[in-house]
Amino acid sequence: MDAGQEKFSDASSAETGNNNIQFYDPSEESIWTRLGVNFESFKRAPGVTGDRLVVGDLSEAEIEKIKSETPMLQAKMKKRHLTMIAVGGSIGTGLFVGSGSALKIGGPAAILIGWIIMGVMLVNVTQAIGEMSILYPLSGGFYMLANRFLDPGFAFAMGWNYFLQWAVVLPLEITVAGTTVQYWTEKVPIAVWITVFWVVIMIICLFGTLGYAEEEFWASCLKLLIVVMFVFIGIVCGGGPTGGDYDHYIGGTLWHNPGGLANGFQGICAVFVTAAFSFSGTELVGIAASETPDPRATMPGAVKGTFWRITVIYITSLTIIGLLIPWTDERLLGGTSAAASPFVIVLDNAKIPGLNHLVNATICVSVLSIGLSCVYAGSRTLTALAETGYAPRIFTYVDKSSRPLFSVIAVLVFAPIGYVNVVAAGDTVFLWLQAISGLSVLFTWGAICLCHIRFRRAWKVQGHSIEELPFTALGGVWGSWLGLILVFIVLMAQFYVAIWPVGGVSSGNERAQSFFEAYLAAPIILAFWIGGYLWKRTLPWRAHEIDLDTGRKSWLTVEEMRQYRAERKAAPLYVRIYRMLFTN
């Protein structure tokens, strides 16, 4: 027996008659092994992915129940980590850079309409995933929820789609990081910067969940600081330095000339995907729930933080950008370099020295942060796929530092695709990568809303009360229906601009190319769904068939929950207001 197998804890043992199951206790490993910085940390952790020592003869159902109640990955995230992942985790190129191209295509009114609609959708999505993840903090996040509440074949399609979404975003983000650095100098080839950022991401990945969580916490703090600073500067920009574009009051003049809309209704439809891309990653709180010691205490605050991010960070900053930059500004073209960031353009126009460099450095950190999110989300989803038999078993490997090692490597190998940017055909390759990732997040959010609808239906059919739930979504099941309807509307709007793109097309070939560049994710998901059905021959679960017990973390009765809520209601008014806005 090796050293790892000797380290089992009786504290987590489960007994059935004379049967005894003992679980691997990672706390007994050395600090260097838990941090993932020595050779021992790369060895497979016994018991983490189901290879537990089983003594005695348990039924298959009993074994599956015990396995489901033991987290696949170690719970290393703290409350501050989860809160910042929710509040600042997805602030990146979508806001700092992509909003520039959206302003160019749609105008200031279009970006506000697009981001507000996507924001309303996202609030309902995060509320839904919060309700389900607190009750079922499953490794693999929404994929495991879809597998349980919808249909294993559909979950197969959504899981692989979600993995591909993050895998192809990784080289995109690394390339954006390289072009961002070129804001300062173009003497160093972009291939060098791509290599540097790739290596940095790999080094941070060595520290596993804790490395990602700490980097995300501090990066999110920096991003929030910069955005808040930008908002304050933008509000008082009428008193900018002499000689700058904002040394006098300009008000809403740019909404009159050149106007609030750049391309009318087409422009509004065209910005939805950019808005969705900027919000992608918010659903990561559902994946992170299984790696948090107490989701009941940490998830509600993280979910509610989404509302404040949408209102304070996105809507306010985009309103200011629309007031300060005309959509005719040529620097907004492309939206793939640091020079195209509207945040940098505003500070350049204002002639405020130094701050443009600070914002550009923040964009570099943001891109690195999103790159790490790609590895985190993609690897956890791939491991969950392997756990349910929809991916090779090698991806169930989890080492003693709680890294799904081969899944992490599988995502990281996509990074070298970024090197195509150094050749002439690179732009074409990147257009197709963006086509794969463009709509993926919308299908993911729609699936989360559908999961919540089916969960609530099963909960009711099987005789449960809503009062038993430790956390309930703000809009209930109707909020998920609203989110699902908004996803459908946005998909139709994107279909419209895919057929009739802004600027028009001159030939049938161009129309076909425009359609697939905008809608490639749809046939990919359909192909996965058909493949999953042909492979496993599964059908959607009926409400009475859905398993509501395995892996469930809250077994409080209605009376116990009523007593709990009565005690909280007796708290002082200021405490209740704080809880309502920020915590559980």
pLDDT at 18: 39
**Distance between CA atoms of 528 and 541, rounded to whole angstroms?**
19
**Distance between CA atoms of 149 and 22, rounded to whole angstroms?**
30
11 pLDDT exceeds 50?
Answer: no
Domain 79-539+557-566 has CATH 1.20.1740.10: yes
Q: Which pTM value belongs to this model?
A: 0.82
Closest C-alpha to 52, from 16, 24, 17: 24
pLDDT at 411: 92
The string of pLDDT tens digits covering residues 492-517 is 888 888 888 777 665 667 677 777 77
Amino acid at 141: G
Structure tokens belonging to residue 162? 């979600």
Within 10 A of 191 (CB to CB), how many other CB atoms are there?
13
3-class DSSP assignment, residue 11: strand
Helices (H), 206-243: 208-235
User: Which residues, at least 6 apart from 22, have a Cβ–Cβ distance to it below 8 Å?
Assistant: 8, 9, 10, 12, 13, 52, 53, 55
Say if CB 357 and CB 366 are below 8 A apart. no
Within 10 A of 242 (CB to CB), how many other CB atoms are there?
7
Residue 427 burial (10 A CB sphere; 0-12, 13-18, 19+): exposed
User: Which residues, at least 6 apart from 336, have a Cβ–Cβ distance to it below 8 Å?
Assistant: 97, 101, 176, 179
In order, the DSSP letters of 85-102 are HHHHTT-SHIIIIIHHHH
Say if CB 127 and CB 479 are below 8 A apart. yes
The string of pLDDT tens digits covering residues 173-216 is 887 777 778 778 778 888 888 888 888 888 888 877 777 778 88
pLDDT at 458: 92
Q: At what angle do helices 508-519 and 521-536 cross, to 10 degrees?
A: 60
pLDDT at 83: 67
Q: Is the bond leading into 470 cis (omega within 30 degrees of zero)?
A: no
Strand pairing partners for 20?
15, 55
Highest mean pLDDT among 84-98, 205-219, 371-385: 371-385
Closest C-alpha to 137, from 377, 24, 299, 380: 299
Residue 570 burial (10 A CB sphere; 0-12, 13-18, 19+): exposed
Highest mean pLDDT among 179-193, 255-269, 289-303, 560-574: 255-269
pLDDT band at 14 (very low <50, low <70, confident <90, very high): very low
pLDDT band at 428 (very low <50, low <70, confident <90, very high): low
pLDDT at 480: 93
pLDDT at 533: 82
3-class DSSP assignment, residue 226: helix
pLDDT at 338: 47
Total number of residues shown for the chain:
584
Distances (CA, A) of 347 to 76, 176, 249, 365, 564: 39, 20, 16, 19, 51
In the chain, what are the domain boundaries? 4-68, 79-539+557-566
Overall average pLDDT of the 126-137 stretch? 85
Residue labelled with tokens 């080289």: 171
pLDDT at 556: 62
The string of pLDDT tens digits covering residues 277-312 is 778 777 777 666 666 666 666 677 667 767 666 767
pLDDT at 499: 82
**Distance between CA atoms of 425 and 380, rounded to whole angstroms?**
32
pLDDT band at 332 (very low <50, low <70, confident <90, very high): confident
> Which has more pLDDT, 555 or 162?
162
Q: How many CA atoms lie within 13 A of 565 on its CB side?
A: 14
Distances (CA, A) of 102 to 225, 332, 342, 395: 23, 9, 10, 38
